[in-house]
Every structure is written in structure tokens, then in C-alpha cells.
Structure 1
Amino acid sequence: MSKINWLTIKDLNNSDLFKSNCVIFKHSPRCIISKIVLKKFEFQYSDKCGIAKFFLINVIKEREVSNQISTLFQLNHESPQLLLVKNKSLIYSASHSDINFKDLL
């Protein structure tokens, strides 16, 4: 079981969605690499990071939201992909084997 309280995003029109510091993890449950990277990220988790919200986006089931996030932050879609957002601005992104929880500290 994950130590992270993962939230979902159903609608990007919520103006307060990215107001506080948050992490967005775009994940494909069909991809073994994505599964491994997600488990590693969850294992490294520390609640001392000061991040208010953690969003897990299933890129298969929530493709529209995933694409909207890529467009909003002007990124190419990748999975797995990690985004750190502060005050509605993207300040960090990583994908695949470059994803490491320690980079958020």
C-alpha cells in the first residue's frame, strides 16, 4: 500500500487545482517501466517534502486530462512523467528513469 494519498483530477477547469504546491504523476498501468518507476517513487516518499497534493493520472483512463496537462504546461506527453507545480507554474519535470522523489526535496 502506498504512503502517498493520491488524488485524481477529473476536471482542469477548477481554478484552485494547482494553487498549492502539487505533484502530478502521469502513469500508464499497461507499461512495466511506469509501474516500476511509480513503486520506486512511492518507496522514496517522505512527508517532510512540503508538497500539499499528489495527483496520479492514469494516462489510459484519463487521456483527455493527461493531454490537457501536457498542453497547459507545454510539455510532450510521456509516461511515466512527473511534474512539480507551484503557484500554477511548472517548476520541475522528469520522465522515465529520471524520476526521483529526492529531486523534489
Structure 2
Amino acid sequence: MGFLKSIFGSSEPKDEKVLPWQALNSISQLEDISERSKTKTQVVFKHSTRCGISSMVMNQFVSMYDLDANIDLYYLDLLSHRDVSNEVGYKFQVMHQSPQLLIIKNGVTVAYASHGAINEVDLVKFA
């Protein structure tokens, strides 16, 4: 039976990792993010809920995320909040891509990545 479980997986539910996401759903939050970035690293994850690649990258990001990272983590559903997504690009001077991760310190983007490169970013180095 152990062999079959290794092939097909167990029917027992797995403990899902829950990240300390803060919903980013209004343009007014961007000024708060900019201000908070002066004392603590702010990270924005832009996600397209209809994109398979975005979903895959999101799942990998969640599984690899270090819960001890000293950052504020924001989740932006860019399909529901396209205006916010556009303003993120203007305010933090990053061309839109999806999925996309922005790391903000002292009011500016110090690093960003998109698609598979997101999971290569060492967030602890920016905390």
C-alpha cells in the first residue's frame, strides 16, 4: 500500500502553508506601502487568477516562502484591480508583467522579477 501512496499520493489532507498576505485592492494603499518601506521591506505579488503560469509560480512561491522573513507581503489580483496594477507600475517605475514580484525599500523598487524568476529571488537578502 505504501508503494501506491507514493505513486498516487495520499488521500489525507496536507497542511497548507498560509502566507501573511495583505490584500492590495486600492490605489490609496500605495502611498502607505511607500511610507512603510522606509522602515520595513514591502513586497508586492501581482497575480493573474486566469493564468496557468501565474498560478504555478504562485504555488511555488508559497511553498518556498520563508515565514520568518521580516517583510510586509501584499497580494494584488490584477484582474480584479487593474487600476491598482497600472498605478503600481507608474508609482514604482516597473513595466507591468504577470506574475510579477516587486521589492520596495525607501519608497523605490530595489528589485523585481516576473514569471519563473520570481522563485529565484532571495527575499531574506532584502529584509
Shared fold (TM-score greater than 0.5)? Answer: yes
Contact 1:24–1:56 (Cα < 8 Å) also in 2:
yes
Structure in which a larger fraction of residues adopt helix: 2
Paired residue for 1:83? 102
CA distance in 1: counterparts of 2:25 and 2:100, whole angstroms: 18
Paired residue for 2:112? 93
Instruction: Please give the residue correspondences for 1:31-46 in structure 2 after superposition, counting only pairs within 5 Å.
Output: 31-46=51-66
1:29-57, Cα deviation, whole Å (9 max, x unpaired): 10000000000000001122211x11111
Equivalent residue in structure 2 for 1:58, among 70, 77, 91? 77
Instruction: Please give the residue correspondences for 1:8-27 in structure 2 after superposition, counting only pairs within 5 Å.
Output: 8-14=23-29, 15-18=31-34, 19=36, 20-27=40-47
Which consecutive residues of structure 1, in runs of 5 or more, have no partner in the other structure? none
Paired residue total: 104
Which consecutive residues of structure 2, in runs of 5 or more, have no partner in the other structure? 1-15
Contact 2:44–2:102 (Cα < 8 Å) also in 1:
yes
Identical counterparts, % of pairs: 35
CA distance in 2: counterparts of 1:101 and 1:50, whole angstroms: 18
Work out which structure has the larger RCO, using CA pairs closer than 8 Å and 6 or more positions apart in sequence: 1
Deviation at 1:101, TM superposition (A): 6.1
Query: Between Structure 1 and Structure 2, whose CA radius of gyration is higher?
Result: 2
